[in-house]
Structure 1
Amino acid sequence: MLMAPLRTSILPPARTPLEAALWACAGPFGLVFAYSCSYNLLLFAPSIYLLQIYDRVLSSRSGDTLLMLTLIVALTVVVGGVLDALRRALLGRLGAWLEDRLRPSVLAACLESAFRGDGTQSPEAYRDLTALRQFVESGACPLLFDALWTPSFLCVLFLVHPLLGAVGACSVVLLFGVTIAGDLVTEDATAKSGAALSRSYGRLAAAVGNIHLIRAMGMLDGTARLIHHDAQDARRESDLALSRYEIVMLAAKPLRALSQVLMMGAAAWLVLDYGKSPAIIFVATLMSGRAIAPVESAIASWKSLAMAVKAYRRLAAVLTVLPPARANAKVASQRPLSGLVVDNVGLKLPGSNNFLLKGVSFSLAPGECLGIIGPSGSGKSLLGQVIAGLTAPTHGRVLLDNTDASLGRSGYRLGYLPQDINLLGETINDIIARLDDADPQKVVEAARLVGIHDAIMRMPQAYATLVPNGGLVFSRGYRQRLGLARAFFGNPRLVVLDEPNASLDYAGERVLLDAIEQMKMANATVIVVTHRMGILAATDKIAIMEGGAVIAFGESEEIFERHLSRPQVASQVEPPGNASATANIPAQPVRP
């Protein structure tokens, strides 16, 4: 009985998707290693061939022996070429398989990382997967397997004579040191160049997204100047890194030639003074060349190898934030409904003690609607974002049906309408269905709920109508209705609406009130953040916020009578500019 917890505690941690994918490739990588071993073993054939020519063919002057040795070595060379081609083809397939296997997990991890506040690392990590696949498919990857055989070739040189082995080992160490030095002298400039280039691309993307505003306000030249300045910084740092790398290459090339000269000279000296076979000159040259070749190739492809290592580290770091697998949707749908609980939620600015939300607590039963009101800057929208899971609280928790809803993983249990409406999708159907291949009838039901179905059907392609530029071609009122249809789609358990009637006319607001009543009848919990009094007619409870805290909470009629009937309080809720839009809507909450 006492050993069970101990066995549980020493279980190995779960592998990340990257580690699991690499373990799944253990067999194919083992086959590549076997091909590499066979290929490198066959590279000894030319050296043995030379030794046999000097020791047997030249002494016996036998043409048959020369013919047979030549045929055998030729066959080994052909087999070695086939093995090299096979391992490269296998690595290419492995690279494509790894990308296909990891793409969904990397995409999910990038989105999760962006949700947690690291929006800059996410696109880079997504590109890293392609960089990793390209490295596996490239010719630089087999060098890793060939480099393992460098000690074997050096051992052969030591067996021939310690002097030859020492010359070969010193050459390898010096060339490897030059490679490391080249990476060190260019690392800082390369990093600065990449950062400047990222800034330039970021500024360009922001300018394209706001081109109309930039052009209208005469900011086009200034924006172009900033983008060009960052591009120049990137080019300057890149040129600096290239010049330093060229200096390193200038030192590496003569060093490679010098090592060959020293090897041949040392072998010739052994022949002259110690009576060694002249064949060791060619054998020593070939073996040193085989030992140095992976290091020499690593110098040429060191950048790609370093980039692949950095890409692997970034991918491993990003995949550690991947959330656990979501529970089955059927299990979630069978969970008993217990409503929404906001338990002592607080939020403060990072690095400070300034709380934007202060100990907010309340609960709502299924089918209840809460109106959150208060002056500008009181924390209404921020509380709505925390309830919707867009922002994680510093302390406290948000529970929906006894499960944590503060992590933004509610999926179809959540409907959310932000103040700044972003319509994601190529068509109207994509926008309302949340980019999912959903039942078209459910999309129509959501559109009917907000009174936009007839307007959609009047379009040339109805729900298949393309929506360019995120729906900016539509009026704000039309975009708001599309956002409401998206929020109500899929029978969500929780709906958070931030200023849902800000751009609606009287008829649109009446439709919104009816839609909220239908969501309540479906046992959905509805949160409405608003400045306008008319929407309060659909609420069951009202919370008044001030300074990040809830100063009043209770039944709508009670809160209205105690707090909202005073003109000075009502003026904070209903801006004067919106008075005409709600003049015909009763100030007192109306119950159906």
Structure 2
Amino acid sequence: MGNLGDRLPAAARAALAGCRGHFLSALMFSALVNILYLAPTLYMMQVYDRVVPTGGVTTLLALTLVLAAAIGTIAMLEAVRSRLMVKASMRLDDGLARAILARLIAKGQGGRGDPSSAQAMREFDTVRLVITAPTLIGVFDAPWTPIYVLAAVLIHPLLGLFVVCAGAILVLLTVYSDRATRRLTRTAHGAATRSVIVQEDIAQHAELIRALGMGRAMVDRQIAERAEGQAAGAAAQMATVRYAAIAKFMRLLLQSLALGVAAMLAIERQISVGAIIAASVLLSRALQPIEMLIGGWSNLQNANEAIKSLKKLLDDSSVEPVTTALPAPQGRVSAQKVVVRSPDGASVLLKGVSLDLEHGQMLGIVGASGSGKSTLMRVLAGGITPEAGKVMIDGAETGMWDAERLARYRGYVPQEPAFLTGTIAQNIARFTTIDPRYAEDLDHRVITAAQVAGCHGLILSLPGGYDCLIGRGGIALSAGQRQRVALARALFDDPAILLLDEPNAALDAEGEAALLRALDTTRRRGATIIVAAHRTGVLAAADRLLVLSNGAVDCQGPADDVLAVLAKRAGETAGNVVGLKGATA
């Protein structure tokens, strides 16, 4: 598997460094355990060479007590070593799980189908669980195999040579096992990742699948994805089992042959009778770590593939730098020549879009479907990073801000509002965690946001009110209810910047009236508002308009000037289509 420290980026290396003490202690205990494992060998030699010929019962009792103490110490050291591995696993989780989850959120814009993030926490758990598996104990025991070779050499050089040759045979089996399973393990890993992606699609769109009668097709697709992975995984496991069986056969055979070699030496009176049994025990103990490695090779291969995915996810080049804490933004928003490509790079979604909005102003973004409105809103909200150009808040590029801190001053309603599993109150509060002593203050802030959004009564009408569970596993809100609760979430803690993407697409007359009141309240407190909409009644109060066409700015400026340009181009129908001011609202 190579050196993990060299193969992982800084975050993983730092986490592993925190576990170094545990690993070194486990290695030291492994040395003590392997030295003490010589006790049964010495016990047998003394019993056969001293006790049996002399009938020394007292000597047998003393030797037995010493052996019991040695075995008891071995048991204690192995228990401590196992605890160290568990502690190391937990320490690794504390040091790296947060970084992985943070990178998953930051990399979410890369698409749910990105193999490096599809099952990142499962990959991490695969690596973490290998630490506590018996296979790693074999890795720790392997360096101490020379102890048993040396003990065999001290009995007779021929026995030492026999142990070395036996070990070489099992090492060759390990190499062949690696060659036989590496490609299969990689194939199984890739198929498992694709299978997870399909499962996510099925779970997220189950209602649509049922409605359109795609259930059987999706099941067939999932079974096909699983079949490839299952076949490769089964083949890898079979290969591992096959080589493990061969290794076990060879170990038992070599152990028996060691008895034969020792017996021959004893017949020639080159070693004692007790050394015959000792030779077999020494060989068995020397080969045990290698046999453990062969038996757990598939686990090591899975961990190896998991490390590759984690390395891709935790690439150092994508780690956000530590930023200086800038003052709370007033709300000036600008963008300069923003360019965004589609995830596959085949098309340009935004073509050098620029805008400049003073704090307290309201900008309306209009354009046909596919013109780039939602993409621009996602860029302004920090959801995606443009390929070229920059977005600035109060004159500072967004990269100069801490992303989490900046988000507290920005409210955002996406085109398709989504909620995480939790209560309505938790979602509106953006899952803010505070000291329980101040829970009442948080509740007040949540209710205030809902009241400004005009959905306080709506929430109270739901089962459990603010404690109603929503998101996956909770109750299903209607499209209009989702938009109104999403508006409350966006208005939580009075953000300086409010971004709304089609906020009235699913609202009825009551909901749209509540939205207009919320916008008026937000404007009066001096917030900057950017709204993209098809139903343009919500843009009647806009100070400025920006018209997008095929990802480029068609025209922008003060609302009256833009309306005049559109009217000049298309006559009075422009007023009816855009419908932004006066009677056209």
TM-score between the two structures when normalised by the length of structure 1? 0.86
Q: Which range moves more in the overlay, 372-381 or 509-518? A: 509-518
2:117 corresponds to: 122
Q: Please state how far the C-alpha of 1:451 moved relative to its aligned partner.
A: 1.4
> 2 CA distance for matches of 1:138 and 1:473?
42
**Counterpart selection for 1:402 from 384, 395, 409:** 395
Please tell me the residue identity of whatever aligns with 2:386.
P
**Residues 473 and 260 (structure 1 numbering): CA distance in 2 closer, same or farther, change over 3 Å?**
closer
- 1:54 positional shift: 5.0
Matches within 5 A, 1:137-216: 137-216=132-211
> What is the DSSP-based 3-state SS (H/G/I as helix, E as strand, rest coil) of the residue aligned with 2:498?
strand
CA distance in 2, matches of 1:250, 1:41: 28
Asked if 1:498 corresponds to 2:501, the answer is yes
The reply on whether 1:44 has 2:47 as its aligned counterpart is no
Partner of 2:338: 345
Does the residue aligned with 1:95 lie in a helix, a strand or coil? helix
Contact (CA 8 Å) 2:496, 2:528: kept in 1 or not? Answer: yes
Asked if the contact 1:372–1:545 (Cα under 8 Å) also holds between the matched residues in 2, the reply is: yes
Alignment counterpart, residue 83 of structure 1, candidates 77, 82, 96: 77
Deviation of residue 42 (structure 1)? 0.8
- The within-5 A match list for 1:507-586 is 507-564=510-567, 567=570, 574=577, 586=582
Q: Secondary structure in 2 aligned to 1:227?
A: helix
Unaligned runs of 5+ in 1: 1-13
8 Å contact kept, 2:18–2:91: no
* Partner Cα distance (1:55, 1:446) in 2: 87
2: CA distance between counterparts of 1:47 and 1:471? 64
From the superposition, tell whether residues 216 and 572 of structure 1 become closer, same or farther in structure 2 (CA, over 3 Å). Answer: farther
Give per-residue Cα distances to partners, 1:203-237, cap 9 Å, x unaligned.
Answer: 34433433333223222222233233333334333
Aligned to 2:232: 237
Q: Give the whole-Å Cα distance in 2 for the aligned partners of 1:567 and 1:486.
A: 39
Counterparts of 1:565 and 1:486 in 2: how far apart (Å)? Answer: 40
Q: 2:366 aligns with which of 365, 373, 397?
A: 373
Pair 1:454–1:354, CA change in 2 (3 A): closer
Q: Is the 8 A contact 2:181 2:240 kept in 1?
A: yes
Closer, same or farther: CA 151–522 of 1 in aligned 2, 3 Å: farther
CA distance in structure 1 between the partners assigned to 2:502 and 2:568 by the alignment? 21
1:34 corresponds to which of 8, 28, 49: 28
- Residues 513 and 537, structure 1, Cα contact 8 Å, conserved in 2: no
Q: Distance in 2 between matches of 1:66 and 1:472?
A: 74
| Of 349-358 and 35-44, the range deviating more from structure 2 | 349-358
What's 1:428 paired with? 424
Task: After TM superposition, give the deviation of residue 393 of structure 1 in Å.
Answer: 0.8
Change (3 A) 1:487 1:388: same
SS at match of 1:389: coil
Counterpart amino acid of residue 271 in structure 2 = K
How far did residue 499 of structure 1 move? 1.2
Conserved in 2, the CA contact under 8 Å of 1:380 and 1:545?
A: yes
Aligned partner letter, 2:350: L
1:461 pairs with 2:485: no
Q: Which amino acid in structure 2 is aligned with residue 371 of structure 1?
A: G
**Residues 208/125 of structure 1: CA separation in 2 closer, same or farther (3 Å cut):** closer
State the distance in 2 between where 1:173 and 1:570 align: 87
Which digits, 9 at most, give the CA deviation of each residue in 1:471-512, with x for residues without a partner? 773332222111211122222232221111222344433432
Answer yes or no: is the 8 Å Cα contact 1:560–1:588 preserved in 2. no
Task: Decide whether the 8 Å contact of 2:364 with 2:545 is kept in 1.
Answer: yes
564 and 178 in structure 1: CA distance in 2 versus 1, 3 angstrom threshold: farther
Q: Distance in 2 between matches of 1:535 and 1:85?
A: 68
Question: What amino acid maps onto 1:382 in structure 2?
Answer: T
Matches within 5 A, 1:430-445: 430-437=426-433, 439-445=442-448
For 1:398, the aligned partner's letter is V
Greater mean deviation of Cα atoms: 42-51 or 143-152: 42-51
**Matching of residue 72 in structure 1 with residue 75 in structure 2:** no
Aligned position for 2:353:
360
Tell me if structure 2 keeps the 8 A contact 1:532–1:573: no
Q: C-alpha deviations, 1:437-476, integer Å up to 9, x for none?
A: 4711221222122211122233453212233657773332
Q: Which of 82, 90, 98 is the matching residue for 2:92? A: 98
CA distance in 2, matches of 1:227, 1:496: 38
Task: Please state whether the residue corresponding to 1:269 is helix, strand or coil.
Answer: helix
Q: How far apart are residue 60 of structure 1 and its match?
A: 4.9
Instruction: Give the whole-Å Cα distance in 1 for the aligned partners of 2:48 and 2:475.
Output: 82
Partners of 2:496 and 2:309 lie apart in 1 by 36
* TM-score w.r.t. length of structure 2: 0.86
Q: Residue by residue, what CA displacement relative to the aligned partner does 1:61-99 show, whole Å, maximum 9, x if unpaired?
A: 543333322322222122222221222233223323433
Separation of aligned partners in 2, 1:214 and 1:27? 52
When residues 289 and 134 of structure 1 are mapped into structure 2, their CA distance, relative to the original with a 3 A threshold, is same
- Cα distance, 1:149 vs structure 2: 0.6
Render the CA deviation track for 1:133-161: whole Å, top value 9, x for unaligned. 43333333322221121122223333444
- Which residue identity is paired with 1:140? T
Q: Describe the SS at the equivalent of 2:419.
A: coil
CA RMSD of aligned residues (A): 3.2
The amino acid that maps onto 1:212 is E
Distance in 2 (alpha carbons) for counterparts of 1:27 and 1:367? 56
Q: Per the alignment, do residues 475 and 20 of structure 1 end up closer, same or farther by CA in structure 2, a change over 3 Å counting?
A: same
Describe the superposition over 1:77-125 as per-residue Cα deviations: whole angstroms up to 9, x where unpaired.
Answer: 2222222122223322332343344333332222223334464432422
Cα distance, 1:564 vs structure 2:
4.4
Q: SS at the partner of 1:478? A: helix
1 CA distance for matches of 2:137 and 2:272?
34
Structure 1 residue 56, shift from structure 2 partner: 4.1
What is the aligned length?
A: 566
